[in-house]
């Protein structure tokens, strides 16, 4: 996937910004607070229709204004499409080629992005929720089936949790549990398939960033082993925990408790890897989906302040693998990538 042009109007600190990126590396260079991350956020909006920085759409509208607008011309498989997002009154509307989207998931085939931001440095050391969010987001971008299956699963889970708050076991809870395990099986099967593909891409990237001879792996720590009779075993598990579920008022077991486990040289990275290695591994994990070939095309890569986080040797290694990642957008206070197209992001409006 390629972002051909990007326009921001009254988006955060950018009154008007228009850029025409190159097909390879693009560097957004400027001082702290210039609005570089804001540009990556806008690109991310084009791919997911939401932001990793805020759920309040009012935040992105320039102070003192009532509306903001982001437009991207995106290309995939020789077809150029226009994605527009307008923000107004705390909400947002997304248009694809001038037509309102029925569902945000319809954006998926048109444009997608993966990102690495400074917060990701704690991807391994932090709580499992960050890793699960990564997993669900990466999968949702890659697979419409997952997006739907996961949506159905979350919906049922919430319904079951509401029913559990009643404090006693009911026929409704029985039915909801039976329906839930069907969705759990689907979610787990799709996660399993994705992990197989992710593993290869993660291995390639971690080897490139850490150097050959280190063995990094990622696997899924599941709430229940996959295989024969999954739904029946899941049902038995839920039923065996029903008293606990009722006391706590929520479903204790399930895909919502899975975790990603990353190992380096056979040991758990969270406790074994050095700070620098953790950064490189987090970067490899974040970018791995960009290497997974897919009919609908590879996502563009957003790297926020990544060079500041890496030592000299890893910077060099990252620059060396950039060409394999396709189109990328890299922010920093100084330029690092020879041959990249450079955009100077000013404190005021950009002059691009
Ligand atoms: N809605 C908004 N209106 C105007 N300015 C904003 C808005 N939201 C954020 N900003 C400004 O954007 C700047 C931060 O932009 P950011 O992209 O994070 O900078 P950096 O270049 O360091 O990545 C801050 O100065 C902040 O005040
Ligand atoms: Mg920033």
Q: Which domains does the chain have, with CATH numbers?
A: 1-112+296-352 (3.40.50.300), 124-293 (1.20.1050.90)
Residue 48 CA to residue 301 CA, distance in Å, equals 14
Cα–Cα distances in Å, from 44 out to 37, 72, 252?
A: 10, 11, 33
Per the CB < 8 A criterion, the answer to whether 298 and 326 are in contact is yes
Tokens (6 digits) for 165: 């708050």
Q: Which ligand is nearest to the CA of 31?
A: 1
Give Cα 219 distance to the centre of its chain: 17
Question: What is the reported pTM?
Answer: 0.90
Q: For ligand 1, atom 18, name the residue with the nearest CA.
A: 37
Q: Closest Cα to residue 323, out of 339, 304, 335? A: 339
Residue-level pLDDT at 104: 75
CA 36 – ligand 2 centroid, Å: 5
What value does the CA radius of gyration of the chain take, rounded to a whole number of Å?
22
Tokens (6 digits) for 342: 């450079």
Tokens (6 digits) for 62: 């320039």
Per the CB < 8 A criterion, the answer to whether 58 and 90 are in contact is yes
Burial group, residue 124, by CB count within 10 angstroms (0-12, 13-18, 19+): buried
Q: Which residue has the tokens 């997911």?
A: 48
CA 305 – ligand 2 centroid, Å: 6
Per the CB < 8 A criterion, the answer to whether 326 and 287 are in contact is no
Q: Per-block average pLDDT, block size 10, for the chain (352 residues)?
A: 96 97 96 96 90 90 96 93 94 93 79 90 85 89 86 97 97 97 96 92 93 91 93 97 97 96 93 90 92 74 90 92 92 94 76 42
Residue 74 CA to residue 95 CA, distance in Å, equals 13
Per the CB < 8 A criterion, the answer to whether 10 and 323 are in contact is no
Using CB distances shorter than 6 Å, the residues near ligand 1 are 12-13, 30, 32-38, 59-63, 331
Residue-level pLDDT at 161: 98
Task: Give phi and psi for 105, each to the nearest 5.
Answer: -65, -20
Tokens (6 digits) for 201: 């891409």
């Amino acid at each position: 996937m390629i972002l051909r042009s990007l326009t921001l109007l009254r988006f955060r600190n950018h009154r008007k910004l228009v850029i025409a990126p190159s097909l390879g590396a693009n560097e957004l260079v400027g001082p702290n607070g210039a609005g570089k991350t804001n540009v990556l956020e806008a690109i991310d909006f084009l791919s997911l229709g939401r932001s990793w920085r805020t759920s309040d759409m009012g935040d992105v509208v320039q102070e003192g204004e009532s509306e903001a607008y982001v437009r991207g011309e995106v290309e995939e498989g020789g077809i150029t499409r226009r994605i527009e997002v307008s923000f107004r009154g705390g909400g947002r509307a997304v248009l694809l080629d001038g037509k309102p989207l029925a569902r945000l998931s319809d954006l998926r085939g048109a444009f997608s992005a993966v990102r690495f931001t400074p917060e990701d440095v704690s991807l391994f050391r932090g709580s499992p929720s960050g890793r699960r969010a990564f997993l669900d987001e990466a999968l949702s971008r890659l697979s419409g089936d997952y997006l739907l299956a996961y949506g159905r699963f979350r919906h049922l889970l919430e319904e079951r949790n509401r029913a559990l708050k009643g404090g006693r076991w009911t026929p409704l809870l029985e039915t909801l549990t039976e329906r839930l395990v069907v969705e759990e099986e689907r979610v787990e099967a799709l996660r399993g398939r994705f992990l197989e593909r992710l593993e290869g891409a993660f291995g390639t990237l971690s080897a490139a960033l850490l150097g050959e001879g280190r063995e990094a792996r990622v696997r899924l720590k599941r709430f229940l082993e996959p295989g024969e009779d999954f739904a029946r075993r899941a049902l038995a598990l839920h039923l065996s925990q029903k008293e606990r579920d009722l006391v706590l008022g929520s479903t204790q077991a399930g895909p919502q408790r899975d975790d990603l486990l990353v190992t380096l040289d056979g040991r758990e990275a969270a406790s074994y890897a050095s700070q620098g290695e953790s950064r490189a591994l987090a970067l490899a994990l974040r970018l791995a989906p960009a290497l997974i070939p897919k009919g609908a095309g590879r996502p563009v890569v957003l790297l926020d302040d990544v060079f500041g986080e890496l030592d000299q040797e890893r910077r060099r290694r990252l620059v060396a693998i950039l060409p394999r990642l396709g189109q990328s957008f890299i922010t920093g206070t100084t330029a690092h990538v020879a041959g990249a197209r450079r955009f100077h992001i000013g404190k005021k409006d950009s002059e691009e």
